[in-house]
Structure 1
């Protein structure tokens, strides 16, 4: 496990058999394409401009090569996203479908309050606001107006959950899209920050793709009391990145 995420790991099963979960219904071609759209780096929310402290980890010497970058990102997926971001998307997805604004507000507040540095909070809010603007250009869904009223700002996982709920796709597929979009952005950040070549980036993306289904299943099983955001070294590096002498990324 990477030195940057030094907390006790709870079991996230990686056995292939445990990953096989049948969706509640077939995924239509339209829903699949819309999920691919949401996961695309071309989505105009600015995800490509964030490294989530990876750039600071490179500066600190925690990541110097492909192997360390791969371990770092897999750890971040399992210790961070699976317990926090993906878990929030999972709960918010159902809340949006029920039009349960009270739960949406609670999840948005929790996610805002658990961002451990100003950079990470600004990232969550900027990407959330940008997705709201994108959603406003699509149709007249009244839930978008309610999303826009979240204070102090709609956060990225809560906004993504609404966009994914609009597609009609099952929850599991929505979470897979969210996680893969994150993975692709982070690999692109590693290509620039470490740096290494495209082939190395594709190998890392392959490792993340293998780990994502289990992380998604873990997030779907979490009860509210089990959701957590505790990656202290990421928080420290993110705070250090705010005053880093030379940097490419916004976080």
Structure 2
């Protein structure tokens, strides 16, 4: 199977498919997860646009963003026989019960919908592994897939921040725009990395996800 890797090789059909998969309208339930942000706001770690931009940027560079991009790339390049090991590693790297729920539930929903529409017969996989595998099967370039996956991740958490901080709509979109080049860079830098390159150092964000499990009042599932 021919697998395009140059972003300029993407077809209009592939681009629209990728946009559909990562749209807020695609029924994976991303809107119901805050990735620990809800607790971070209650604890005063995130208070305004600047602190949210720093918080989200660190998660992209040093936490789930980078790790998901690596997992997506590994799934994209993997033979079907190796896919299960990558998926098990993705589950093992979830730092809390709710982080595991987040990647499992979104991944399962993505696989069900994509199988129903495109007939890919995807097994239940964690979210980045599912997206990477589906992109490979549909000949969608890896780098573009990784960049748009990260951009969708950032956009979803920005939507949560707009409701929770609160941020204005314009402030929120300015943050997404400011972090878009980082999404491109991470997609490029991770496309050849392996599972051994996984790691993270955003410990406060991981603790926030753990604390959220017992948060008294909450709007989000994570």
TM-score band by shorter chain is over 0.9
Residue 24 of structure 1: how far off its partner (Å) = 6.6
Of residues 181, 185, 199, the one that matches 2:156 is 185
Match of 2:93 in 1: 114
Match of 1:137 among 116, 128, 132: 116
CA-to-aligned-CA distance 1:128-169 (integer Å, 9 cap, x gap):
111121022113334x2xx23xxxxx2111111122223322
**In the alignment, is residue 44 of structure 1 matched against residue 27 of structure 2?**
yes
Q: In the alignment, what sits opposite 1:175?
A: 146
The alignment's TM-score, normalised by the length of structure 2, stands at: 0.92
**Runs of at least 5 residues in structure 1 that lack an aligned partner in the other structure:** 1-21, 149-153
Match of 1:7 in 2: none
**CA 1:30–1:45 in structure 2 vs 1: closer, same or farther (change >3 Å)?**
same
Asked if 1:227 corresponds to 2:198, the answer is: yes
Asked if structure 2 preserves the Cα contact closer than 8 Å seen for 1:128 and 1:157, the reply is yes
Distance across 1 between alignment mates of 2:60 and 2:118: 33
1:22-61 aligned at under 5 Å gives the runs: 23=6, 26-61=9-44
> For 1:83-94, what aligned pairs fall within 5 Å after superposition?
83-94=66-77
For 2:214 and 2:136, the matched residues in 1 are separated by 38
CA drift of 1:187 comes to 0.7
Which residue of structure 2 aligns with residue 126 of structure 1? 105
Give the direction of change, closer, same or farther, for the CA distance of 1:219–1:81 in structure 2 (3 Å limit).
Answer: farther
Spell out structure 1 runs of 4+ moving beyond 6 A: none
Residues in 2 aligned to 1:196 and 1:210: alpha-carbon distance in whole angstroms: 21
Q: Give distance in 2, aligned partners of 1:141 and 1:191.
A: 35
Q: 1:163 aligns with which of 117, 134, 141?
A: 134
C-alpha offsets along residues 44-69 of structure 1, whole Å, 9 cap, x if unaligned? 00011111011111010001000110
Alignment partner of 1:105 out of 60, 77, 84? 84
Query: Given the two structures, how large is their TM-score scaled by the length of structure 1?
Result: 0.82
State the SS of the aligned residue for 1:125. helix
Q: Report if the CA contact (8 A) 1:44-1:131 is conserved.
A: yes
Kept in 1: contact 2:71–2:128 (CA 8 A): yes
Task: State the alpha-carbon separation in 2 of the partners of residues 160 and 245 from structure 1.
Answer: 33
Q: What are structure 2's unaligned runs of at least 5 residues? A: none
Aligned with 2:48 (options 42, 65, 72): 65
How far apart are residue 214 of structure 1 and its match? Answer: 1.1
Alignment check: 8 A CA contact 1:35 1:167 kept: no
CA deviation vs aligned residue, 1:14-68 (integer Å, no higher than 9, x gap): xxxxxxxx81761111001011111211110001111101111101000100011
